[in-house]
């Protein structure tokens, strides 16, 4: 690894896409011009051994996914992502080539969203690689797509399909990045390594100006649905047969699919609730841009929690899923 300052120079962009960047990398802090929109800020971290290993992700995927996970949190607020900052703790086992690939993964995704890298921090560590990304974004003033917005009578909806990322992880743990995969399996692996945050649907929901509860799926449908139920003080009932499953996922035994959908996580799709009166318009606007919103359940009053309905059978869907202290 060359000198720390040389390294920072090597990852500094030549220019900025957002004209609101007054000072990006190179001073004590970044300086960005404020706007009339409400500002959104979030931070998510990826740790080697916890979020990825060299069996499951190439360095490029690590960067791409760390930024994608954060963009997904902006999407869940209905926002437009604008800038990002990166903190990286580098163990001596990581070489410059791999680190450049991490940054390339972030840069490629940033380009797609016209985002700018405006700062960060670089340190060495005696532990594993740790990559923390902060994303700043914005949403039209007054729009609050909060987890606490759900009301009895709402429909529960999902953007896109779920469960593929966990399916991909399971294949990677079995065969590693170097393994051979069929075209169908490669789709699951891609969902795990290069997830696509659902900014488009989030923007449509925010632009609708309607009351929407929204959450992105990082820890699995069971966990995220429970977060909405708890924050809103309502019951979410999910219909087992309505959960959107891709044709590839449906090739696996149903128990396996359910495990990945409810408890897998890292799908980075959106789960939310809104009034049935407002749903059709939002769904058709999403459809026009290539995203499907599917009704997967309904909201009612009662002791806050999530239920799963299978035929006439109803069972509780507990807040299980990915949990950093119970894995």
Annotation: binding site:
28, 44, 51, 73, 103, 120-121, 147, 216, 218-219, 266, 322
Q: Does 155 bind ligand TPP (CB under 6 A)?
A: no
Q: Residues in contact with ligand TPP, total (CB under 6 A)? A: 13
Q: Does 44 bind Mg ion (CB under 5 A)?
A: yes
Q: Does 227 bind ligand TPP (CB under 6 A)?
A: no
Annotated binding site for Mg(2+): 28, 44, 73, 121, 216, 219
Q: Does 51 bind ligand TPP (CB under 6 A)?
A: yes
Q: How far is the CB of 213 from ligand ADP (least distance, A)?
A: 13
How far apart are the two ends of the chain, measured CA to CA in Å?
A: 33
Q: Report the run of H or E that residue 76 belongs to, with start and end.
A: none
The residue from 168, 195, 265, 297 that contacts ligand TPP (CB under 6 A) is 265
Q: Which is nearer to Mg ion, 218 or 226 (CB)?
A: 218
Q: How far is the CB of 73 from ligand ADP (least distance, A)?
A: 5
Q: Does 44 bind ligand ADP (CB under 6 A)?
A: yes
Q: How far is the CB of 76 from ligand ADP (least distance, A)?
A: 7
d(CA 114, CA 309): 42
Question: 323, 264 in Cβ contact below 8 A?
Answer: no
**Could you give the C-alpha distances from 312 to 17, 292, 296, 309, in angstroms and in order?**
54, 27, 16, 7
Q: How far does Cα 234 stand from its chain's mean position?
A: 24
Q: Does 227 bind Mg ion (CB under 5 A)?
A: no
Nearest one of 231, 184, 173 to 55, comparing CA atoms: 173
- Which range touches ligand TPP (CB under 6 A), out of 48-56, 119-127, 199-207, 280-288? 48-56
What are the helix and strand counts (H, E) for the chain? 9, 13
Q: How far is the CB of 42 from ligand ADP (least distance, A)?
A: 6
The residue from 161, 193, 218, 257 that contacts ligand ADP (CB under 6 A) is 218
Annotated binding site for ATP: 103, 120-121, 147, 218
- Give Cβ neighbours of residue 86 (< 8 Å, ≥ 6 apart): 103, 106, 117, 119, 120, 121, 131, 132, 133, 134
Q: How far is the CB of 307 from ligand ADP (least distance, A)?
A: 22
Q: Please spell the DSSP secondary structure of 141-198, one letter per residue.
A: TT----GGG--TTPEEEEES--SHHHHHHHHHHHH-TTS---HHHHHHHHHHHS----
Annotated binding site for substrate: 51, 266, 322
Reduced to 3 states (helix: H, G, I; strand: E, B; else coil), residue 33 is coil
Q: Which is nearer to Mg ion, 44 or 154 (CB)?
A: 44
In the block, tokens 């894995």 appear at 327
Residues 60-89 close enough to bind ligand ADP by CB under 6 A:
73
Residue 258 binds what, of ligand TPP, ligand ADP, Mg ion, none (CB under 5 to 8 Å, by partner type)? Answer: none
**Could you give the C-alpha distances from 170 to 153, 161, 166, in angstroms and in order?**
37, 17, 6
d(CA 139, CA 43): 17
User: Footprint of ligand ADP on this chain (CB under 6 A)?
Assistant: 44, 73, 218
Contact positions vs ligand TPP (CB under 6 A): 44, 50-53, 56, 69, 169, 218-219, 265-266, 322
């Amino acid at each position: 690894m060359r000198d720390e300052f040389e390294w920072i120079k090597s990852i500094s962009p030549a220019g900025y896409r957002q004209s609101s960047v007054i000072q990006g990398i190179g001073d004590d802090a970044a300086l960005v011009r404020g706007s009339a929109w409400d500002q959104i800020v979030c931070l998510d971290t990826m740790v080697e051994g916890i979020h990825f290993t060299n069996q499951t992700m190439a360095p490029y995927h690590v960067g791409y996914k760390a930024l994608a996970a954060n963009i997904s949190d902006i999407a869940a607020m209905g926002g437009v992502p604008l800038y990002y900052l990166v903190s990286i703790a580098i163990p001596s086992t990581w070489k410059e080539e791999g680190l450049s690939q991490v940054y390339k993964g972030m840069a490629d995704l940033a380009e797609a969203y016209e985002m700018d890298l405006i700062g960060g921090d670089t340190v060495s560590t005696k532990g594993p690689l740790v990559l923390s990304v902060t994303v700043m974004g914005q949403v039209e003033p007054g729009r609050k797509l909060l987890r606490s917005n759900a009301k009895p009578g709402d429909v529960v909806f999902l953007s896109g399909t779920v469960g593929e990322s966990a399916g991909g992880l399971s294949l990677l743990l079995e065969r590693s990045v170097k393994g051979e995969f069929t075209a169908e399996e490669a789709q699951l692996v891609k969902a795990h390594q290069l997830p696509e945050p659902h900014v488009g649907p989030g923007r449509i929901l925010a632009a609708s100006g309607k009351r929407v509860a929204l959450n992105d799926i990082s820890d699995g449908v069971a966990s995220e649905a429970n977060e909405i139920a708890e924050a809103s003080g309502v019951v979410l009932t999910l219909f087992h047969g309505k959960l959107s499953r891709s044709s590839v996922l449906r090739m696996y035994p149903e128990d396996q699919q359910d495990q990945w959908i409810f408890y897998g996580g890292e799908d980075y799709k959106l789960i939310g609730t809104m009034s049935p009166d407002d749903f059709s318009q939002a769904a058709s606007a999403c459809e026009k841009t290539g995203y499907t919103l599917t009704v997967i359940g309904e909201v009612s009053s009662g002791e806050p929690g999530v239920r799963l309905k299978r035929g006439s059978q109803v069972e509780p869907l507990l807040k299980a899923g990915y949990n950093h202290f119970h894995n």
